Chains A and B, each alone.
Chain A
Amino acid sequence: EVQLVETGGGLVQPGGSLRLSCAASGLTVSSNYMSWIRQAPGKGLEWVSVTYSGGSTSYADSVMGRFTISRHNSQNTLYLQMLSLRPEDTAVYYCARARDYFGSGSLSFDYWGQGTLVTVSS
């Protein structure tokens, strides 16, 4: 059974930083595409970042240059380092396995964690 467990959320002041973790079991982070997706309170879903099994990464424009996605292969854990946080970054952050069903670069998100809440406020 696949389980993804996010930790690291909390209250941080604007301009501050936070690192989220996503511990995986039942799948190997290093051999999968892994993504972060967020949801502001009462709002819809916003894709944030993806790391491909080959090591390349991609980001939404809204977080480019401030967030960094990475993996610790021996701990089977995905990370999201968030710098220069803004109030609009307030959201529940989910990690998810991104699956390319057709080998065409088309991503669907088939396993999700329970999410961790990040609140950016003074």
Chain B
Amino acid sequence: DIQMTQSPSSLSASVGDRVTITCRASQSITSYLNWYQQKSGKAPKLLIYAASSLQSGVPSRFSGSGSGTDFTLTITSLQPEDFATYYCQQSYNSPWTFGQGTKVEIK
């Protein structure tokens, strides 16, 4: 199975900050990497697919980059509604595995 490792596990940031979350795969997954946002008590929401493609309806302050084993989710100008937990997921092969999550908290 492909292992996905996110860093950091949590971070504190202020509204307006630029936030970067990293995801590393245990082997090359080319660009088969997705990002999700999950708010407390809610289902996850797809933000980014194929490493850098923005899902319909997702604000442009979210962006993704990377290929191979190293990927990044960036939120420019963090908004109050962005405080949540973020997960990466590899879509290279089954079983489809997720990172352990990064919790973005209010500073």
**Count the B residues whose beta carbon is within 8 Å of the partner chain — how many?**
26
User: Which residues does B use to contact A, with CB under 8 Å?
Assistant: 32, 34, 36, 38, 42-46, 49-50, 53, 55, 87, 89, 91-101
Q: Is the interface of B mostly helix, strand, loop or mixed?
A: loop
Bound-complex Cα distance A113 to B45 (A): 10
Q: Are A45 and B87 in contact (CB under 8 A)?
A: yes
Q: Is A25 an interface residue (CB 8 A)?
A: no
Q: How far is the CA of A112 from the CA of B45 in the complex (A)?
A: 8
A44 & B96 in contact (Cβ 8 Å cutoff): no
Given the known inter-chain contacts A106-B32, A107-B96, A108-B34, please indicate yes or no for A45 contacting B49, CB distance below 8 A: no
Q: Residue B101 contacts which of A44, A61, A107, A114 (CB distance < 8 angstroms)?
A: A44
> How many residues of A are in contact with the other chain, CB < 8 A?
21
State which of B45, B92, B95 has its C-beta within 8 Å of the C-beta of A106.
Answer: B92
- Would you give the 0/1 interface string for A82-122, flagging 1 where the beta carbon is closer than 8 Å to chain B? 00000000000010000001100111111011110000000
The listed residue with most A CB atoms (<10 A of its CB), out of B45, B87, B92, B95, is B95
Known A106-B32, A113-B43; judge A44-B49 contact (CB<8 A).
no
Question: Using a CB–CB distance below 8 Å, which chain A residues touch chain B?
Answer: 44-47, 50, 58, 60-61, 94, 101-102, 105-110, 112-115
Report 13 cross-chain contacts, Cβ distance below 8 Å, ordered by A residue: A44-B87, A44-B99, A44-B100, A45-B44, A45-B87, A45-B101, A105-B93, A106-B32, A106-B91, A106-B92, A107-B96, A108-B89, A114-B42
